Amino acid sequence: MKTVSIVGGSGYGGGELLRLLLAHPCVDVKQVTSRSHLGEYVYQVHPNLRKRTQLKFSDPAILESVDILFLAQPHGQAQHHIEEYAKLAPKIIDLSADFRLRDAAFYEKWYGEKHASPDWLSKFVYGLPELHRLEIGTADYISGVGCNATASNLALLPLIKADLLDVSAPVYVEIKVGSSESGAEGNAGSHHAERANVIRTFSAFGHRHTAEVMQEMGLNNISLTMTAVDLVRGVLATAHARVKQDVATKDLWKAYRAAANENPFLRVVREQRGIYRVPEPKILAGTNYADLGFELDESTGHIVAMCAIDNLMKGASGSAVQCMNLMMGWEETMGLEFMGLHPI
Amino acid sequence: MKTVSIVGGSGYGGGELLRLLLAHPCVDVKQVTSRSHLGEYVYQVHPNLRKRTQLKFSDPAILESVDILFLAQPHGQAQHHIEEYAKLAPKIIDLSADFRLRDAAFYEKWYGEKHASPDWLSKFVYGLPELHRLEIGTADYISGVGCNATASNLALLPLIKADLLDVSAPVYVEIKVGSSESGAEGNAGSHHAERANVIRTFSAFGHRHTAEVMQEMGLNNISLTMTAVDLVRGVLATAHARVKQDVATKDLWKAYRAAANENPFLRVVREQRGIYRVPEPKILAGTNYADLGFELDESTGHIVAMCAIDNLMKGASGSAVQCMNLMMGWEETMGLEFMGLHPI
Amino acid sequence: MKTVSIVGGSGYGGGELLRLLLAHPCVDVKQVTSRSHLGEYVYQVHPNLRKRTQLKFSDPAILESVDILFLAQPHGQAQHHIEEYAKLAPKIIDLSADFRLRDAAFYEKWYGEKHASPDWLSKFVYGLPELHRLEIGTADYISGVGCNATASNLALLPLIKADLLDVSAPVYVEIKVGSSESGAEGNAGSHHAERANVIRTFSAFGHRHTAEVMQEMGLNNISLTMTAVDLVRGVLATAHARVKQDVATKDLWKAYRAAANENPFLRVVREQRGIYRVPEPKILAGTNYADLGFELDESTGHIVAMCAIDNLMKGASGSAVQCMNLMMGWEETMGLEFMGLHPI
Amino acid sequence: MKTVSIVGGSGYGGGELLRLLLAHPCVDVKQVTSRSHLGEYVYQVHPNLRKRTQLKFSDPAILESVDILFLAQPHGQAQHHIEEYAKLAPKIIDLSADFRLRDAAFYEKWYGEKHASPDWLSKFVYGLPELHRLEIGTADYISGVGCNATASNLALLPLIKADLLDVSAPVYVEIKVGSSESGAEGNAGSHHAERANVIRTFSAFGHRHTAEVMQEMGLNNISLTMTAVDLVRGVLATAHARVKQDVATKDLWKAYRAAANENPFLRVVREQRGIYRVPEPKILAGTNYADLGFELDESTGHIVAMCAIDNLMKGASGSAVQCMNLMMGWEETMGLEFMGLHPI
């Protein structure tokens, strides 16, 4: 059994991580910190954990040494304390955005401020196993992934890997998201009376996760457009792009099937009958799956590539646990076996 | 044309009132106040009013004289300023809870504090036309109604009027409500990710609206149990009570039909076929209707009496406009003709 | 008072039309037909109409002559009976898809069957006042509009009118829709337990409404991608396109403001503060507004053009009533004054 | 490893059962039958099972012998074939209503028809472990439980066990339910456009599950009132009853805590702070927990006793697996460890 702690456990990402780690057969959770809920039982904030743990939120200033330290704080915290954290644990997985980008100038461009620990950027591996499985296996420091970036990256992954995309054409990614993306704190617009029933395009351009897609996909001419819909958990990314000349549906099938075969959490959903013919986030709640789909207009080369995930799982805490498994040499799917629910 | 102003226009009740008054053929809206949104266009807060008015929120400290003054502030404000308001307008309708109860001691019991203007309590008429139509017609000061109280009062009204209730048995009113009841400010629990999908009994006993039901129905042994469900607008009150011996379904039909015939906004919904067989709040959004229904177990005398309303309309601003119409001698339904939508 | 009848009144479009016509000051509803609900009160199917009309559904085979006949049947009916209908009424407005396209071959291509009355295609005017106001004013036969086509057409209208679009680039329209689009009959996938919480891309390419956008916008390289979300009423169309070189945000403001000034039901929504900064369908429920918005990436010329409507109003019955007003020489907005609700 | 099969696997109960059995460490699923989906992959109907099983739906007329046979057919099937099924498997768990009641006359009263196999009624044990743990441990035939009955029974269980209820007073149980209760087939009223946003009291009296509560709680004067709300999975039962004289809140605490201590899936939720202070079904989706709560008005003896469950888990398939575990001598919680999600 390895010891683990979570810094920042009262948010949605931290709570989801705790749920996964409590059920994980190889780890023992030592501490979960929260300044605002210090001393409360974690089940008072995350009511699903009632009768499953008697842990209380502890003070983030008093951290014990552990084998693996998870950082689940808001953006901009970890980069100021990474030296201290590194003394406490040989392995660190940071779910925030602080160490996702490899280039300090690129970070500054997208986040509007200088990075506090630019030397650490190169020590972290981007924590998406479908892109960096081998590096993750030997890494000590792993960054989390942006949920919208993950849906976008995985929607495009089979096309990029098989080199089917015409990169001279722009890629427009339309992303629809649930309300858990706005975090546990919420904001004026997340009040249920205002947020229910919405189709609200809160960002047409410039979402910060765009940077991760550019970096990981090697694409420059790409935009992410974000629309909030009435759902709690879930993201669907729909990428509109152009394939290379003469690429046909059968080539896409091959590329997508290869991706699904090589990755335990990727599935291709492209059915001719039934209700669930395409990737849909609702059935992924609580699972680590990324469901992929595509449609091609062979006459124009216009491809609609889709990826559905649970933003708190494959888009955050699930990928983090998957990375932990790889980093520790455990079965990649360990602790991530939940199948999801139907109906839901 | 009569001049009207609204003190407290950025909340949900104030916004709904403004919508109604802007469309009302006999009034002209002079001012709508808001401290927090001072100087903003009202359509920036209430986006449905875009292209319908160029009014901006004005300072509540600088009120002009008008024919009718509506007070739509949070509870506990109006009672401190009622003398000033009365100098500005000969007619006042206060939507808050400040002047709903007739007895200062009863007020103190339920609201936990002494009333600031107890002498004014007797000058106000409780603003539910179905109970006080004649008095409202000659009143200068009218109190608003609690939304949950209104659903409860109207569910019981036909039974009380026809004297069919066995008042020795307790009356348990189960009330299900949407999220607009929590007001425009919201709270931690109204964050969409927490509030969506709920069936949350936030008050088993002691809801303050209980006092209004006791006062208006003359019942002592009555409780209101409040449960939040996933909906924005709407209340369904379901009263479990016992009818007097030998009261049969046909007696109830007679009582309910009489109520519907005497009141333009009451309807009886009790169908044997179709989807909409019972009162449902969803189809009442934006309307001033109260839909009534009932089922009787003749073997035990147990009656299930239902009333559905839109909490912001019949439960607040709609009733206020209905009272204004009566007070001014206008057609009771004026400005309240919207039929509601199906589907919705 | 002009007499009107509705053929096909039990569906959602017919019900909405009936609601509007019952409240319209210049018309008198004679008949509303339904085979499946023959003899039932219309309020048993459309419960919002209770206490507002005692009309019963009549037999579509027994139609009386009227001044204006509305056809609200499923696709493929009207084209077989148009000769008969034309004998009953001098003015006809058909809400179905039967007479929307001007070219019989184009119809056959998109609908997969020969048109039954190709000679009649040229007699109908496409019923979108923002595009054909003058022709509608003198027309006898008006076709309805597709809801998704309308959202798409109005999103692009200011760009096309001001000639700002680079038509050499493809236009990808991402459309998110509510469940009322699937009609009153529904299907396996519209069962609440399957349909709730969805983000379901049910059509990546080839939606029939594409034909109307091609015809009305004069665009060939355009696709509509349809995604169902959890909402009853509402459509948001988001068009990704490229503007001509050197077109800047200020040019777009000018074009959009002009469109809003020339059309009573168009509004531009592009705010820097508040919750409602962009077009959102939820606040349009029951109204005839089309809210327009846009964002431009000046560095690439990529424009995100948005239009939100209520699919049953501006996307169907509301536009039909607006056309009737124009055709009869009445005020264009008559009977369409409802402002919509906030919150909802 | 024991072999199991499911007769009737395309419904919601059967699908949930399959999900649980596929993950159960001690069983091997042989067959899942469906007439309407014969030959299809089970993941085409239950999309959460994609990549988890290659099982196809088989013909219910061609069943192999197994160790444990689960029957998940609609009501009224199992009682006609129980003799045949008993030849195929030594242990049977029937999720339908066919063998829940012990008395044939009582069955006929509530189900309106004679029971086809009355001799078998006494061979079955009612499958609620919290009431019949010991008998289940030695049983061969176990009946499933009604979801609404289970929520009601568990809400009242601590009161009945501790003998705190004044049984001379009526018990009114108000039950709010999600749309998965209407089954995978749905009906006109379950179309999303009609079912979304509802607070719809579809049964004031006479719901068949009442019979199970009468039988199991030994209460005669009890009614169940059913209201549909906007949710997919979940039931909240709220029982209004009267406690015996001088029963105080501390006595209730004792009774509820005892129940929670004796039963692994019962929890008491009664917090003074935070968002989740009372039992709520939403956080139970996919779990086998029953969350209990209560409030007492000590001045009147009026108790509001609550129980929240996932209707497809504790209210159906979860309890069935719990019974299997007990019957086979396995750990009671085996395969039922999922904690549930927050937020959701």
Query: pTM of the prediction?
Result: 0.98
How far apart are the CA of A178 and the nearest CA of chain B, in angstroms?
8
Q: How far apart are CA B94 and CA B101, in angstroms?
A: 12
What's residue A122's pLDDT? 97
What's residue A304's pLDDT? 98
* Cross-chain Cβ contact D192/C197 below 8 Å: no
Q: Rounded mean pLDDT of chain C?
A: 97
Q: Name the band, by pLDDT with cuts 50, 70 and 90, for residue C253.
A: very high
Task: State yes or no: is D147 an active-site residue.
Answer: yes
pLDDT above 90 for A284: yes
What is the ipTM metric for this complex? 0.97
Q: Which residue of D180, D193, D197 is in closest CB contact with C193?
A: D180
Count how many pairs of residues, chain A against chain B, have C-beta atoms within 8 Å: 55
Q: Which of residues 200-259 of D touch B (CB under 8 A)?
A: 200-202, 204-205, 221, 223, 225, 227, 229-232, 234, 236, 238, 240
A180 touches chain D (CB under 8 A): yes
Q: Name the band, by pLDDT with cuts 50, 70 and 90, for residue C84.
A: very high
C36 touches chain D (CB under 8 A): no
* Cross-chain Cβ contact A202/C278 below 8 Å: yes
Which residues of A fall within a CB distance of 8 Å from D280? Answer: 47
Q: What is the mean pLDDT of each run of 10 residues along chain B (344 residues)?
A: 97 98 98 97 98 98 98 97 98 98 98 98 98 98 98 98 97 98 90 98 97 97 98 98 98 98 98 97 98 97 98 98 98 98 98
- Other C-beta atoms closer than 10 Å to the C-beta of C54 total 9
Structural tokens at position C6: 């509705």
Q: How far apart are CA B164 and CA B246, in angstroms?
A: 10
Report the largest interatomic distance among the alpha carbons of chain A, rounded to a whole angstrom: 62
| Of C251, C254, C237, residue with least CA distance to C301 | C251
- In tens, the pLDDT along D131-144 reads 999 999 999 999 99
Residue B251 CB-density burial (10 A; 0-12 exposed, 13-18 middle, 19+ buried) = middle
pLDDT above 90 for D185: no
What's residue D97's pLDDT? 97
* Cross-chain Cβ contact A233/D273 below 8 Å: no
Phi, psi of C331, deg, nearest 5: -55, 130
Q: Which residue of D193, D197, D232 is in closest CB contact with C193?
A: D232
Which residues of C fall within a CB distance of 8 Å from B20? Answer: none
- In tens, the pLDDT along D8-50 reads 999 999 999 999 999 999 999 999 999 999 999 999 999 999 9
D186 touches chain B (CB under 8 A): no
pLDDT above 90 for A186: no
What's residue C72's pLDDT? 98
A192 touches chain B (CB under 8 A): yes
Q: Side by side, which strands form the sheet with D171-177?
A: D199-203, D222-229, D171-177, D235-242, D302-309, D290-297, D266-268
Angle, vertex CA C25, rays to CA C22 and CA C30, nearest 5: 45
Tell me what percent of the residues of chain C surpass a pLDDT of 70: 100
DSSP string covering C164-199, please?
-B-TTS-EEEEEEE-GGGGTTT--GGGBHHHHTT-E
* Cross-chain Cβ contact D196/C230 below 8 Å: yes
Query: Best interface-test mutation with A: which of C147, C173, C180, C199 has the largest number of A CBs within 10 A?
Result: C199
Q: Which residue of C47, C291, C344 is in closest CB contact with B233?
A: C344
Q: Side by side, which strands form the sheet with A235-242?
A: A199-203, A222-229, A171-177, A235-242, A302-309, A290-297, A266-268
Amino acid at B308: A
What's residue B186's pLDDT? 86
Which residues of A fall within a CB distance of 8 Å from D52? Answer: 339
Q: Name the band, by pLDDT with cuts 50, 70 and 90, for residue D186.
A: confident
* Cross-chain Cβ contact D281/B199 below 8 Å: yes
What's residue C64's pLDDT? 98
Q: Which residue of D191, D197, D230 is in closest CB contact with C190?
A: D191
Q: How far apart are CA B147 and CA D213, in angstroms?
A: 34
* Cross-chain Cβ contact C186/D193 below 8 Å: yes
A341 touches chain D (CB under 8 A): yes
What's residue C209's pLDDT? 97
Q: Which residue of C47, C289, C344 is in closest CB contact with B342?
A: C47
- B319, B128 contact by CB (below 8 A): yes
| Of D202, D201, D200, D205, residue with least CA distance to D224 | D205
